[in-house]
Amino acid sequence: MKAIRVIWLREVRAFRGAFSCGVPMVAFLVVYGWTFVMMLRNNEGSVLQIQSVWGLSVAPWLPILCAVLTMRLFAEERATGMIDLLMSAPIRERDLVLGKFFSAMTAVVVTLGLSLLVPALLLPALAGPQLARPSAAAIAATSLILLLQASTWCAAGTMISVLFRNQAAAAVSSLVVCSALPIAVYAAILAWLPGVRTSVAWMPLLMHVHDFSTGLFTTSVIMLYVATALFFLFACSKLLALLRLRG
């Protein structure tokens, strides 16, 4: 636990001053804010609740944010050679992976917290006192599914970062795995099985967000994200161990 905390603190500090953290966070908030406003306008008069609009405008951009936040975690260490010093320290690979993963999740949590400012500040100004405020439980449920999705993207990004010395290559590969691949699979399913279109109107990842934001919890969905994140983290620590074999 101590090693995880030491690495987490170091990485959070590195994030604080890193160009690769501040810029993507601001860009994410801008793009998300625009999506939020557009979604509000398009769904005027519909039954879509505010927390759903928030979740659905955040979710599509999360893989990109996570890919950019995680790209430097191991790629930078490998490029600078710092990975040698880390691996010669008396710590387990899994501690190293978890410390870095939690640091990326910290940045995601901060960004999600900031993204809540958009509805909190914008809506009272637009709707005034008629606005029905979402309950804290509804916001918490939406946050839970967003964090579950982010943990999966961050775990995948952390693992992919081990494979590269070049941060951009790591980010692009993470984007392909976290964003392009699910979309391609979904598009392929719709193309080959048009009958599914009626039952799967939205992409499942967005449907999960909508379900959770309306209070429809599914254990299997939670397990899916947790298991996927754990798989990527496990694979990441094994890849690090493999570096000792291959050099």
Partner 1 sequence: MLDVAHISFAYGTRPILKDITFDVAPGEIVALTGPNGAGKTTLLKVLACLLMQDAGTVHLHGVDTLQRPIKYRRTIGYLSAHNPLYNDMTVEEYLTYRVRLKGERAMRVRRRINEALSASGLTDVRDTRIGLLSHGYRKRVGLADALSTFPKLLLLDDLLAGLDRPQRAACGAALSAASLRAAVIATGHELDEMLNWCTRVIVLNRGRIAAMFRTSDFDRAELIEQVDKLLADPDDAQEVSA
Min separation Cβ 86 and partner 1, Å? 8
CA-CA distance, 233 to 97, in Å (whole number)? Answer: 7
Residue numbers 79-108 binding partner 1 by CB under 8 A: 80-82, 84-92
Count interface residues toward partner 1 (CB under 8 A).
Answer: 24
CA-CA distance, 73 to 55, in Å (whole number)? Answer: 27
The token duo for 6 is 């030491």
Say which DSSP state 1 is in: -
- Cβ neighbours, 10 Å, residue 176: 14
**Over the range 97-123, which residues count as b (16 or more CB within 10 Å of their CB) and which as e?**
bbbbbbbbbebbeebbeebeebbeeeb
Min separation Cβ 98 and partner 1, Å? 14
Min separation Cβ 93 and partner 1, Å? 10
Min separation Cβ 173 and partner 1, Å? 24
Q: Which stretch binds partner 1 (CB under 8 A): 12-20, 140-148, 201-209, 223-231?
A: 12-20
Residue number, 71 or 240, with CB nearest to partner 1: 240
Min separation Cβ 244 and partner 1, Å? 5
Residue numbers 53-82 binding partner 1 by CB under 8 A: 80-82
Residue numbers 148-207 binding partner 1 by CB under 8 A: none
Type and span of the H or E element at 14: helix 2-17
Closest CA to 162 of 87, 62, 65, 60: 87
Q: Does 12 bind partner 1 (CB under 8 A)?
A: no
| DSSP string across 181-239 | HHHHHHHHHHHH-TTHHHH--S-HHHHHHHHHHTT---HHHHHHHHHHHHHHHHHHHHH
Min separation Cβ 25 and partner 1, Å? 18
Residue number, 82 or 187, with CB nearest to partner 1: 82
Residue number, 7 or 107, with CB nearest to partner 1: 7
Min separation Cβ 68 and partner 1, Å? 19
Q: Does 247 bind partner 1 (CB under 8 A)?
A: yes
Helices 204-213, 136-162: crossing angle, 10 deg rounding: 150
CA-CA distance, 28 to 107, in Å (whole number)? Answer: 12
Binding marks (x or -) toward partner 1, 13..52, rule CB under 8 A?
A: xx--x-----------------------------------
Residue number, 81 or 195, with CB nearest to partner 1: 81
Give the side-chain half-sphere CA count within 13 A for 68. 17
CA-CA distance, 138 to 75, in Å (whole number)? Answer: 38
Residue number, 159 or 240, with CB nearest to partner 1: 240
> Footprint of partner 1 on this chain (CB under 8 A)?
2-3, 6-7, 10, 13-14, 17, 80-82, 84-92, 244-247
